[in-house]
Amino acid sequence: MAKCGPGIVCVLAAAAALGAQGSNILDLTHVVSSSGSMTAGQGGGSATAPSSHEKRQSADVRVRLESLDRDAYAVHDAFVFRMSLQNIGRQAITLPWEPDSSRVITGPDAPILTSVLVIDADTSGGRHSTVPVAMLYGSKLSPSSTKVLAPGDRAEIIAAAQWQFLPTASRAGAKDDQSGPAHVTARLTFLTGIDGTVYNDFVSSNKLPIILTGKL
pLDDT value of position 4: 52
pTM: 0.79
Do 177 and 128 form a contact (C-beta atoms < 8 A)?
A: no
Side chain identity at 50, as an amino acid letter? P
Q: What are phi and psi of 114, to 5 degrees?
A: -140, 135
pLDDT value of position 188: 97
Q: What are phi and psi of 93, to 5 degrees?
A: -125, 130
Q: Cβ neighbours of residue 172 under 8 Å, at least 6 residues apart? A: none
pLDDT value of position 173: 52
> What does the CA dihedral 85, 88, 92, 93 come to, rounded to 10 degrees?
-40
Pairing of β 61-68 and β 2-3:
unpaired
pLDDT value of position 174: 54
Do 150 and 117 form a contact (C-beta atoms < 8 A)?
A: no
Side chain identity at 151, as an amino acid letter? P
pLDDT tens digits, the chain, 216 residues: what are they?
655 544 434 433 433 333 444 489 999 998 865 444 443 333 333 334 455 566 788 999 999 999 999 999 999 999 999 999 999 999 999 999 999 999 999 998 889 999 999 999 998 778 889 999 999 999 989 999 999 999 999 999 999 999 998 876 555 555 566 788 999 999 999 999 876 789 999 999 999 999 999 875
